[in-house]
Chains A and B, each alone.
Chain A
Amino acid sequence: MTQIQNDARSELKLQQEQFLDALLGLAPCPAELDAKQVQTCGNSLINKRSRYIENVLSSKNIVVTADIKAELLNYFKKYASVHTDGFRADAKRFLAYRRTCHFMNRVRTKFRSQSNQ
């Protein structure tokens, strides 16, 4: 029984990993799923993540500009899946990512201006 269960778990694990990777745009859609449906579901996930993070930003009185939307897309490229602790942690991670990006941009700008002098 346990062996059967373990085999079933292994098979399910592989199916679910392939599904999730396709959903997150990390791998092609497996044959057992419809590519168009997976894409719709993946877009829905992106929208859900965006909405959650934008709500957090709004609660911090940060206006969601086109620049922030672009940062969000870059963030989703870097972190394809939601934080393992959920959406709230995902939003916190985005804020940390954004701070790091801004800091790096400032360093680059300063470096360039010093190089030009």
Chain B
Amino acid sequence: MVADAVAAAAAVAEGSQMSERTAIGIGWRPEIAWCIQQRKDLEFVEIVFENWMRKDLPAPLLDLRSREIDIIPHAISLSLGGADRPDVDKLRKLDAMAKQLHAPFVSDHIAFVRAGGKESGHLLPVPRTEKALKVVIENVSIAREHLSVPLALENIAMLCDWKNSEMDEAEFLSRILNATDSLLLLDVANLYANSLNHKFDAIDFLHRLPLDRIAYVHVAGGQTCDGVYHDTHAHGVPQGVYDLLGELNAMTNLPRVMLERDDSFPDGSAINKELDAIASVLSVESKSPGTGSCGTTNRNRVGAREVRPSQGSIQ
């Protein structure tokens, strides 16, 4: 049972010929759909489940699916760390979307987003106590019962944290993943933010996670304001996040890594540069528009170490 999700992750990776190198993806947003459409080396995209829960999926997204690009529904409101049991109707809708898209897995966060009938609009940290751990494990187990694909759980960025925690985040996360046989969506940008704001060693944190459970990795940007680093998804990716990704890549075989951008969308060249930078860190050849690779297979295994800047990138 415990190894099921790990085996599932390995099977997914093998099935898409990704067992020996890392697939690169991006968070699909309508504002950058045209840029994503033209970038030929992307092997998966992630969509925010709630944005499409009540409406038809857009044509450009379905077009990606027809190009055999995996589409991963990413939920932000299941509130798996909440005191209430997860909404079964919403879980069924998430599962239906996963089936429609032939998604290899779905994901959400270890966080709560509502309490006492109020929505936070933010992913908020769960007090890391033994009692809360039991609740989260039960919530995740309920979610898994209603999902026909594996569930990946993401670590969040925390601007505030509980003083009464009985364990640190690495232990809390690991115990949930192991107890529920879930996959890990490791957000290195969130880890970077937390390590800065709460002053702990991010590498030590990584060493203490079950890295064989990684389904995919998030990379995103942010900015420091009044001494606090904010994981905004609206600014460029800082070097520290790339460095952390590099450290992680040296520690384990990463199946998939993706860029997240949710606001203040830059032009296509800036998006391409960030994707190229991720590819460079992972030593995966970049094939952004204009490099002569358009239209070639997106399944080539490559090992080029040097940075391949996007020539003639979309502006």
Contact = CB atoms under 8 A, between A and B. Distances in A.
The answer to whether A binds B is yes
Interface of A: 4-5, 7-13, 15-17, 19-21, 23-24, 31-34, 37-38, 40-41, 44-45, 48-49, 51, 55, 80-84, 86-88, 90
23 contacts: A5-B138, A8-B134, A12-B131, A16-B83, A20-B115, A21-B118, A24-B120, A32-B127, A32-B163, A33-B163, A37-B161, A41-B159, A44-B230, A45-B120, A48-B121, A49-B121, A51-B263, A55-B263, A81-B118, A82-B120, A84-B114, A84-B119, A86-B121
A32 B164 contact: yes
Nearest to B117: A84
Contacts of B77: 86
Nearest to B76: A86
A90 B126 CA distance: 25
A37 B132 contact: no
Contacts of A17: 115-116
Contacts of A83: 119
A45 to B, nearest CB: 5
B121 A81 contact: yes
B162 interface: yes
B111 to A, nearest CB: 11
Interface in B135-151: 135, 138
A16 B121 contact: no
Contacts of B135: 5, 8-9, 12
B160 A90 contact: no
A41 B127 contact: no
A51 B134 CA distance: 36
Given A19-B124, A41-B160, A82-B120, A13 B83 contact: yes
B159 A82 contact: no
Contacts of A38: 160
B285 interface: no
Given A12-B127, A12-B132, 11 more contacts: A4-B134, A17-B116, A20-B118, A21-B118, A40-B160, A41-B122, A44-B159, A45-B120, A48-B122, A81-B121, A88-B51
B86 interface: no
B171 interface: no
Contacts of B83: 9-10, 12-13, 16
Interface string B43-59: 00000001100000000
Nearest to A13: B83
A32 to B, nearest CB: 5
A96 to B, nearest CB: 17
